[in-house]
């Protein structure tokens, strides 16, 4: 009885591990492993140094403001009309850094993925489609016009 | 009630089996990418709930966690499957295993800080599976729960903290009954009358032996360090102090200020800069305590003095772990909200805080109180053996440093 239960538990562990691995490979659009290196922008506030991903996210946002302003943010900030696109999570219309992105994994991962897909040669429209496929459902998106 | 639970014939199996299922679920969730939630649920359940609650459990119930740990169940069952009687590791091997356990604790602490294990699902799953395989291999190779006693980093940490815990076992029968009861102990500890609290996992085996009359449960005032720390334990306590100072600092704006200064200063990437900072901090604490013990020991034994100093530091380290855990528990509602979002019970998505750092005053008062009280206990332990001046100075410095760090606004989102 005891041996049977133990083997069942091992089997559950293994099955869940394998199922988990399988589930990762079934994501709608593969997340790129890493984004290219962007220089750390001058005057970056301390809060942007919370994590490696945060520094990377703000560096991307600074260098790719045009691209990020064409992409919706799916973290849930769409519930506030102040946020119109992904760039707003990092830099506002006056060019000032915003702290929202530093505390939000979804914003940071979206910025990282968008930059990596751009380096892969994808057009803005294709990047937008991938972002929609990958992040839809995470939260209410910003009301960002579609890319023509 | 606790005594009745420990004496129950269903203890610890009735708790271990559900926990084994829970561990399997945590591994599965860790490997499963979240559909809606921002954080990986397996990692969140492991680090922001289990790991955050563990220090409180250790203070209240000493090493009872080790008795109900699901991985212990795996090791014990594998041992039962072996037909031939297994050997007990010899003294030299036992010491080597202890040092390996300390290396494991240091490595785990560094990985935790450098790779942000608390948010990394796949790495969390790998770590849980390593613990399961380690316990099973230990059970297949030796008698006496070698994994739990010498190699498991959580067991090592629990052994250090249990010296200052509220729950313990005492011999109440004669020496013969106590020795007979201890002969059933799965950890092969010394007879109950000389039982060291850091070895006992409160599995209840000796409570049920000899008609239950040889051993009794002690609840209440902790023994507050009945024995000196041996070499590996002393190094582990020093490592823990450095790692906890690093972890606490990481949760304050001091950390972002340091990174904003150091990255351009040394022209290194984020990970390199952080790794260098953590290693320098941990080494500085270790070297500081070694130097203090060397000065304090004079012509006496260095290891004996280092053991005394490290034992005196343990209450402060324990309090730092508890206060950090309390801070981590502030993220528990977010974890539960994410779980509900995954189960489609609530709408996904959130609005992150504008400022991640805050002072939650009721919690802050409790944190300061815990650290100051532990500092006083540490000072009492430091003064209980000869040559206390330098030892007390070291303990006071560690306590003050932690009070300053816990005086900063801290991350409420972990």
- Chain A residues with CB under 8 Å of B27 CB are 13, 16-17, 20
pLDDT per residue as tens digits for the range B29-74: 999 877 666 778 899 889 989 999 999 999 999 999 999 999 999 9
Please name the residues in contact with A113: beta carbons below 8 A apart, sequence gap of 6 or more: A31, A32, A35, A130, A131, A134
**Distance, CA of A24 to CA of B33 (rounded, Å):** 6
pLDDT at B217: 87
Judged by CB atoms closer than 8 Å, whether chains meet at A52 and B349 is answered as no
Mean pLDDT of B355-373: 93
Q: Which of B376, B26, B50, B62 has its CA nearest to residue B219? A: B62
Judged by CB atoms closer than 8 Å, whether chains meet at B413 and A103 is answered as yes
Interface check B261 vs A, CB under 8 A = no
- Chain A residues with CB under 8 Å of B256 CB are 46-50
Q: Which of A113, A115, A105, A116 has its CA nearest to residue A65? A: A115
pLDDT per residue as tens digits for the range B94-136: 999 999 999 999 999 988 888 888 888 999 999 999 999 999 9
Judged by CB atoms closer than 8 Å, whether chains meet at A105 and B81 is answered as no
- Backbone φ/ψ region at B349: left (φ over 0), alpha (ψ -120 to 50), beta: left
**Distance, CA of B86 to CA of B139 (rounded, Å):** 9
- Chain A residues with CB under 8 Å of B253 CB are 46-47
Mean pLDDT of B343-359: 83
Interface check B348 vs A, CB under 8 A = yes
pLDDT at A37: 82
Nearest-CA distance from A49 to chain B in Å? 5
Interface check A73 vs B, CB under 8 A = no
Judged by CB atoms closer than 8 Å, whether chains meet at B32 and A20 is answered as yes
- Give me the residues of A, 93-132, that contact B with CB < 8 A: 99-100, 102-106
Interface check A3 vs B, CB under 8 A = yes
Judged by CB atoms closer than 8 Å, whether chains meet at B356 and A74 is answered as no
Interface check A46 vs B, CB under 8 A = yes
Judged by CB atoms closer than 8 Å, whether chains meet at A46 and B256 is answered as yes
- Chain A residues with CB under 8 Å of B74 CB are 6, 9-10
**Distance, CA of A46 to CA of B240 (rounded, Å):** 28
Cα dihedral B232/B139/A1/B31 (nearest 10): 70
Nearest to A55 among B270, B347, B352 (CB): B270
Q: Is residue B223 very low, low, confident or very high in pLDDT (cuts 50, 70, 90)?
A: low
- Chain B residues with CB under 8 Å of A79 CB are 349, 351
**Which residue on chain A is closest to B413 by alpha carbon?**
A103
Nearest-CA distance from B352 to chain A in Å? 6
**Which residue on chain B is closest to A27 by alpha carbon?**
B33
**Which residue on chain A is closest to B20 by alpha carbon?**
A9
Judged by CB atoms closer than 8 Å, whether chains meet at B24 and A80 is answered as no
Q: Which of B110, B14, B107 has its CA nearest to residue B67? A: B14
Q: How many contacts (CB atoms, under 8 Å) link A and B? A: 125
In sequence order, the β-bridge partners of residue B305 are none
- Chain A residues with CB under 8 Å of B31 CB are 16-17, 19-21, 23-24
- What ipTM score was computed for the predicted complex, to two decimals? 0.84
Helix (H) or strand (E) holding A72: none
Share of chain B above pLDDT 90, in %: 59
Please name the residues in contact with A60: beta carbons below 8 A apart, sequence gap of 6 or more: A35, A38, A68, A111, A112, A114, A115
Nearest-CA distance from A148 to chain B in Å? 27
Interface check B77 vs A, CB under 8 A = yes
pLDDT beneath 70, residues of chain A: 1-36
pLDDT per residue as tens digits for the range B287-337: 999 999 999 887 788 999 999 999 999 999 999 999 999 998 988 888 788
């Amino acid at each position: 009885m005891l041996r049977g239960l133990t083997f069942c538990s091992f089997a559950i562990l293994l099955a869940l591990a394998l199922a988990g691995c399988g589930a990762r490979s079934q994501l709608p659009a593969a997340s790129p492993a890493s984004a290219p290196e962007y220089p750390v922008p001058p005057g970056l506030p301390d809060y942007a140094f919370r994590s490696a991903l945060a520094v990377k996210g703000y560096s991307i946002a600074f260098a790719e403001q045009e691209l990020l302003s064409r992409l919706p943010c799916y973290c849930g900030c769409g519930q506030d009309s102040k946020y119109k696109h992904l760039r707003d999570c990092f830099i506002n219309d006056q060019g000032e850094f915003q702290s929202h992105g530093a505390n939000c994994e979804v914003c940071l991962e979206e910025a990282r993925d968008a930059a990596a897909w751009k380096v892969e040669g994808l057009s803005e429209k294709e990047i937008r489609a991938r972002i929609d496929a990958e992040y839809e459902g995470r939260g209410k998106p910003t009301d960002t016009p579609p890319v023509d | 009630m606790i005594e009745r639970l420990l004496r129950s014939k269903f203890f610890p199996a009735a708790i271990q089996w559900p926990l084994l299922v829970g561990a399997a679920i945590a591994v599965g969730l860790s490997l499963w990418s979240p559909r809606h939630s921002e954080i990986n649920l397996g990692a969140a359940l492991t680090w922001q709930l289990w790991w955050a609650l563990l220090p409180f459990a250790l203070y209240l119930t000493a090493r009872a966690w080790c008795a109900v740990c699901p991985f212990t169940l795996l090791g014990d069952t594998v041992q039962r499957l072996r037909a031939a009687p297994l050997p007990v590791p010899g003294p030299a091997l036992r010491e080597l295993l202890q040092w390996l356990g300390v290396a494991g604790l240091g490595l785990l602490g560094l990985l935790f800080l450098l790779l942000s294990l608390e948010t990394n699902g796949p790495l969390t799953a790998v770590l849980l599976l390593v613990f399961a395989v380690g316990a099973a291999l230990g059970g297949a190779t030796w008698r006496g729960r070698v994994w739990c006693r010498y190699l498991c980093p959580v067991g090592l940490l629990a052994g250090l903290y249990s010296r200052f815990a509220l729950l313990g076992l005492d011999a109440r029968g004669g020496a013969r009954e106590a020795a007979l009861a201890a002969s059933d102990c799965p950890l092969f500890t010394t007879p109950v009358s000389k039982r060291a609290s850091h070895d006992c996992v409160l599995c209840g085996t000796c409570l049920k032996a000899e008609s239950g009359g040889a051993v009794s449960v002690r609840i209440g005032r902790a023994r507050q360090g009945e024995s000196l720390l041996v070499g590996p334990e002393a190094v582990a306590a020093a490592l823990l102090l450095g790692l906890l100072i690093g972890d606490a600092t990481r949760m304050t704006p001091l950390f972002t200020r340091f990174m904003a200064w150091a990255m351009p200063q040394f022209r290194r990437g984020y990970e390199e800069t952080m790794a260098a900072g953590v290693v320098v901090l941990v080494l500085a604490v270790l070297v500081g305590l070694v130097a203090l013990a060397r000065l304090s020991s004079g012509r006496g034994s260095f290891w004996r003095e280092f053991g005394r100093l490290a034992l005196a530091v343990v209450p402060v380290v324990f309090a730092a772990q508890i206060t950090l855990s309390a801070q981590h528990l502030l993220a528990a509602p977010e974890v539960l909200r994410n779980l509900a979002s995954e189960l489609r019970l609530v709408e996904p998505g959130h609005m992150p805080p504008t400022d991640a750092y805050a002072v939650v005053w009721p919690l802050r008062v409790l944190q300061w109180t815990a650290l100051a009280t532990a500092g006083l206990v540490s000072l009492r332990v430091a003064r209980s053996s000869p040559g206390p001046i330098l030892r007390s100075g070291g303990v006071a410095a560690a306590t003050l440093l932690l009070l300053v760090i816990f005086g900063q606004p801290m991350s409420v989102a972990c």
